[in-house]
Amino acid sequence: MFGRPSLKDTERVVRETVERIVKDALQDAETALASAGKITKLREELETLRIEKSRKEEEFAKKEREIEHKVGLERKRQEFEIEQAKRETSVTVREENLNADRKRFVEQLDFHQKRFESEVKYLHEMAEKLMERLPSAEIKIARRA
């Protein structure tokens, strides 16, 4: 009793120790497998997230290109509208200038015509008065037979 432990006690202690070691090893293995499964799952999630990130970046880049394209088209449209407005304004100004020139020409033509008519009338009147005041000279030629 006080001396050496019995064989049964030693076997029991060895069995308990082996069982405890096996249980701990199994637990560690299960934990390792669970961790490995978690790691695999996390790696899969990481790859999935990377793929989704790439898709989102591609979508964002595509939207950005579309927006830049639309902005460029809008800028071109506005430039065209500005040029068109300039041309229309220029044409309108030219038409107004032509109308004003035509009106001035007609007024000037009327003025010159009236002035010419009054000058001609004045000259006719002066010629009439001059003819009235000049002595008349009639020359009679005698016939010789």
The predicted-structure confidence for 22-37, as pLDDT tens digits, reads as follows 998 888 888 888 888 8
* DSSP H helices in the chain: 7-133
What pLDDT, on the 0 to 100 scale, is given for residue 134?
A: 76
Counting as low any pLDDT under 70, the low residues of the chain are 1-5, 136-140, 142-145
What pLDDT, on the 0 to 100 scale, is given for residue 140?
A: 67
Does residue 125 lie in a domain region? Answer: no
What pLDDT, on the 0 to 100 scale, is given for residue 123?
A: 92
Structural domain range at position 38: 1-92
Does residue 145 lie in a domain region? Answer: no
Does residue 67 lie in a domain region? Answer: yes
Instruction: Report the C-alpha gap between 6 and 26 in whole angstroms.
Output: 30
The domain tally of the chain equals 1
Q: What's the pLDDT tens digit per position in 4-26?
A: 667 777 888 888 898 999 998 88
> Within a 13 Å sphere around the CA of 74, how many CA atoms are in the beta-carbon half?
6
Does residue 136 lie in a domain region? Answer: no
